[in-house]
Amino acid sequence: MAHRIDPSCRYSKSHEWIRVTDEFGYIGISDYAQQQLSDIVYVEVPEVGDSFTQSEVFGVIESVKAATDCYLPVAGEIVEVNQDLEDTPELVNKDPYGDGWLVRIAIEDLGELDTLMSPQAYETFVKRVQAEAEH
């Protein structure tokens, strides 16, 4: 099944995305990741004010198939969490780059964004992951 990639985001190898506005970043999981998880039934996110380093686990997404950790693509402090996910976790399935966002952070080091993949690089990465999974 085809997946969408948001051209305004940068991506991690663990399939999280970040969309940056000023020194803040919205974070979620990619369309590819939500497809792999299937029907999402629960999303656990941190508290506002919590801080995490780059690649640190900040939350968990549970689906009917599995539970998976979410890793922060860049270091930062949580300034907002998506409260809608508490009652409607399936928003992550329906709109992973929009209403299904997980947290908004104050980015600690904008330079860490350079360690993430561009949309084009992420597309290539996902194709490689899919090809390896078929073998």
- CA–chain centroid gap for 120, Å, is 17
CA angle 94, 77, 120 (to 5 degrees): 50
CA distances from 42 to 34, 52, 81, 104 (A): 12, 21, 14, 18
Model confidence pLDDT, tens digit, residues 91-116: 999 999 999 999 999 999 999 999 99
Residue ranges of domains in the chain, CATH in brackets? 11-108 (2.40.50.100)
pTM: 0.95
Model confidence pLDDT, tens digit, residues 32-48: 999 999 999 999 999 99
